[in-house]
Amino acid sequence: MNKVSDFLTYNLDIIGTIILIVSLFPIIKLMKELPPGNFRKWWGVMMALILFFIIGYIYYAQQHHYNSGFTQNAIIPYILFFGSIFVYFATTLSLRTTQDIKRIYTLEIENSTDPLMGICNRRHLNRILNDEFLKAARYSIPLSILMLDIDFFKKVNDNYGHDVGDMVLINLGTLMKELCRETDTVARYGGEEIMIVCPLTDSQKVVNLAERIRQKIESAILVPADVEKGITEVRITVSIGISGYTHDISSVENLVKRADMALYRAKNEGRNCIFFCDGTTPETVLLEKV
C-alpha cells in the first residue's frame, strides 16, 4: 500500500511541476501584451515566484522519492498539486482578461476614430459635443468650438490625385493632434472639415488657439516633394469659423450653426482667415474677422 501511495504522490509531484511550468507561458504572453511599466515588472516578480515554487516542488519530489521519511507527509503532494492547478488557472485567466480588455479598448478606439485621419469621428464628436454643451449650459462655464476647412482642397485632388489628397488629410490629422490641447476634442466633421471642441475656453483663448493653428498649418509641408512621382511639396491653408457658448444659444445645433456661418464668411472673405461668430439675441448674430 505504501508503494502505491508513494507512486501516486510522486506522480502528483511530477504532474504538478509540469502544470507550474506550463503556467509560465500565459505570464510570458501577458507580459508581451502589457506596455513597459510597473504592471509588467510585477508580473515578472510573479514569474520569479513561480520559478522558486517549481524549484521547491522538484526538490520535494526528489526527497519524497529517495527518502522514506517523507512518506509520513503524503498530504503535502496533494496540497502542492492543487496549488499548481490554482496557479495555472490564475495565470491563464489573467492572460485572457488582459486580452479581452485590450480587445474591448481596441474596439472602442475603432468606433470613435476616423480611419483615415486618426482623429475622432463624427459619432464620437456628437457625444462629446452634447456632453460639453450640457455642462456649459448647466454651470455657465465657457465652451468654444472651431470649424476648420481646407482651402481649395479639390485642387489638390485634381492636381495630384486622391492618394496625395489622402496623405494631406492623414498628415493634417497628425498635426492637429499635436497643435491642440489634451482637453480639446479634434474630430473629422465631414469631408475635409474638422471640428475642435474646446471646453472651459473663452473667446480670447480660442481665438489665440485658432490663429496658432492657422499659422502652423500655413507653414507646414503636408506632403514632401517626390521627384520620381512628379510631386512638388504640398502646402495648404485653412479657413476657420469660431463660435462660443452664450446664454441665448439654446441647443448644440445653434452653436454649430454659428461656427458654420463664421466659416462660410471666412471662405467668402478670401480664405486663410478666421471669423468669430457671437450674438446677444437669437435674432442678432455678429460676425467678426479675427
Nearest to 261 by CA among 125, 249, 185, 129: 249
Give the active site residues. 192
